Amino acid sequence: MKTATLMLVAALAVAPATAAGDAGPTAGADIDPAVTRLVAELRQSVDASPESAAAHADLAIAYEANALWQQAREAYAEALRLDPGNPDWRLHHAIALRQSGDFAASVAELERLIELAPDHAPGLQRLGSAQLENGDTTAARATFMRLIQLDHQLAEGHAGLGDALLREGDPPLAIRQLEAALSLDNTYASAHYLLGQAYRAAGRLDDARRHLAFGQDATPRFLPDALSERLASYAVNLTARLDQASAQLSRRQPDRAIATLQSVRSDHPENVTVLNNLAIAHMHRGDMASARSELDRALAINPDKFSTYLNLAALSQRMNQPVEALRWSDEAVARAPGVARVHVNRAGALLRLGRLDQAIESFEAALAADFREQEPYLALANLELRRDNAEASAGYSSRSLELWPDLVPAHFLQFHARLELSDLEQARSALDAATLLAPDHPNLGELERLYREAVEGSE
């Protein structure tokens, strides 16, 4: 059973507001201390060289990286006043204009950018997208065609052109462009979704259904530009640094994550989320004592945070203390019964204690709280197979495949359940689907053998 970890703070979708006449953040003005420090440092450069466009641009990048959009647009405008020829600053000025609520000015700035730098690929993509949002498909089509002429290997160009063609009512041509986009990058979710719409318009409903399902979690994506890397290094606000620590953990760099989080803690000593994340990083490093210490401190600051109990349960699991894990899980469930993860954690503790029926109940509670949790489906399909309840197992794996058609373990579980039910046709179908998705999977040979035996047994 996988031990649950929890990184609670994710990037926020809350958009910032505009602030007319705001001169910029100052210490104590509700701004993250790390951002205040960075801005103060960069302002010194501006003050020292007020005619330096680069200094103003640096300050603008710092504002943008920390989502201070109004200040970013003003600083980019100043940099462009001093040096109107920099296309990257102009692109980001357009982004800041949009983010601070002025869409029309943003589009105008993108148009100006392309006038000055007609080969600026990230600018062309942003402009084409904005033209599509504005309903100007003719202009968007021309913009994306120019992007393709510039570099026909850019999936973004083909996807944008496909979108424009689809909006203009030409599904066959749209399909050609969108298929081209996916041949360059099959992970491009938006292109899948657009292709699904084009197939549907062309009457190819089965193809449509498949691509719509693949593409439905799309997020907007834009070509990187010359400032992208610097933006990442200037993102010093709390959310960004927590994301940075999370990425470090994903790359199996717990020492780096701990260093990042300790630096965050010095700015936010009472922040329970930071302490929880620090505890998780310590767990990844194998330092359970430090993890416990951070969690105890989090509990002392706020004894009602369910996330702290969740992490205490995870810690106990790692320390092979299932009774303790269950106790902490119960505390988490009591505080957040609507959060699926707390039930999954509890189920894990119950499984360790051999309490299968209760574990199943907890997994079911997890699904009732949130049907999008993947782990309970697989666990329940597995557990029901162990309880010789192949019908129920097949139900869980079927449901998970409705949500995630490319989930290979679910196809395997579906195969086993169908085999148990002597439904050879469905078993074959599940095995074929898994083979298509993961042709090199090491389990396939064994499953083929099981299937052959079942076929022979039925004859």
Partner 1 sequence: MKLAARVRNVAAAGALIAVAAGAQTIRFEDVAASSGLDFVHQRAISTTLWFPEIMSGGGGWLDYDGDGDLDAYLVQGGQLDPAAARGAGDRLFRNDGGSFSDVTEVALGARAEYGMGLAVGDYDADGDPDVYVTNVGPNVLLRNNGDGTFTDATEQAQVGHPGWGTSAAFIDYDGDGRLDLFVVNYIHWSPHNEIECFTGGRRRDYCHPSNYNAPAADVLYRNRGDGTFEDTTVSSGLAAFFGNGLGVAVADFDQDGRPDLYVANDGMPNQLWMNRGGRFVNEALIAGCAVNRSGAAEAGMGVVAADLDGDTTTDLFMTHLRDETNTLYLNRGGWFEDVTAARGLGGPSIGRTGFGAGAADFDHDGRLDLVVVNGKVGRGETTVEGADPFAEPNQLYRGSSDGGFTLVPSAFVEPPGTSRAAALGDYDGDGDADVLVVDNGGPARLMRNDYAGGTWLRVTALDRHGAPMAGVELDATTLSSSQRRRTERASSYCASHEPAVHFGLEGEASVNALTAHWPGGPRQRWLSLPADRAIVIYR
Binders of partner 1 in range 117-156 (CB under 8 A) = 132-135, 137
Question: Least distance to partner 1 from the beta carbon of 286, Å?
Answer: 27
Restricted to residues 4-43, the positions that interact with partner 1 (CB under 8 A) are: 8-10, 12-22, 25, 29-32, 35
d(CA 232, CA 446): 46
Sole binder of partner 1 in the list 107, 181, 365, 366 (CB under 8 A): 107
- The residue with tokens 């060289």 is 49
Per-residue tokens: 150: 């510039």
Q: Which residues contact 426 (CB under 8 A, 6 or more apart)?
A: 394, 414, 418
Sole binder of partner 1 in the list 86, 143, 177, 190 (CB under 8 A): 190
Nearer to partner 1, 156 or 415 (CB): 156
Restricted to residues 285-324, the positions that interact with partner 1 (CB under 8 A) are: 304-307
Nearer to partner 1, 37 or 387 (CB): 37
Would you count residue 202 as binding partner 1 (CB under 8 A)? Answer: no
Would you count residue 237 as binding partner 1 (CB under 8 A)? Answer: yes
Question: Least distance to partner 1 from the beta carbon of 365, Å?
Answer: 12
Would you count residue 417 as binding partner 1 (CB under 8 A)? Answer: no
Q: Which residues contact 296 (CB under 8 A, 6 or more apart)?
A: none
Restricted to residues 44-83, the positions that interact with partner 1 (CB under 8 A) are: 63, 66-71
Restricted to residues 394-413, the positions that interact with partner 1 (CB under 8 A) are: none
Would you count residue 187 as binding partner 1 (CB under 8 A)? Answer: no
What value, to the nearest 5°, has the Cα angle with vertex 168 and ends 164 and 171? 85
Would you count residue 338 as binding partner 1 (CB under 8 A)? Answer: yes
The answer to whether 315 and 282 have CB atoms below 8 angstroms apart is no
Sole binder of partner 1 in the list 177, 273, 345, 382 (CB under 8 A): 273
Binding residue count for partner 1, defined by CB under 8 A:
81
Sole binder of partner 1 in the list 339, 365, 413, 417 (CB under 8 A): 339
Stretch that binds partner 1, among 42-50, 143-151, 268-276, 432-440 (CB under 8 A): 268-276
Restricted to residues 346-385, the positions that interact with partner 1 (CB under 8 A) are: 368-372
Q: Is 325 exposed, middle or buried (0-12, 13-18, 19+ CB in 10 A)?
A: buried
Residue 44: CB atoms within 10 A of its CB come to: 11
Stretch that binds partner 1, among 83-91, 172-180, 209-217, 293-301 (CB under 8 A): 209-217
Residue type for 445, please?
A: G
Q: Which residues contact 87 (CB under 8 A, 6 or more apart)?
A: 113, 116, 117, 120, 123
DSSP single-letter state for residue 421: T
- 3-class secondary structure per residue, 289-356: HHHHHHHHHHHHHCCCCHHHHHHHHHHHHHCCCHHHHHHHHHHHHHHCCCCHHHHHHHHHHHHHCCCH
Nearer to partner 1, 335 or 428 (CB): 335
Question: Least distance to partner 1 from the beta carbon of 66, Å?
Answer: 4
Nearer to partner 1, 190 or 316 (CB): 190
Residue 183: CB atoms within 10 A of its CB come to: 11
Restricted to residues 76-105, the positions that interact with partner 1 (CB under 8 A) are: 98-99, 101-104
Of 262, 278, 273, the C-alpha closest to 239 is: 273
Nearer to partner 1, 17 or 48 (CB): 17
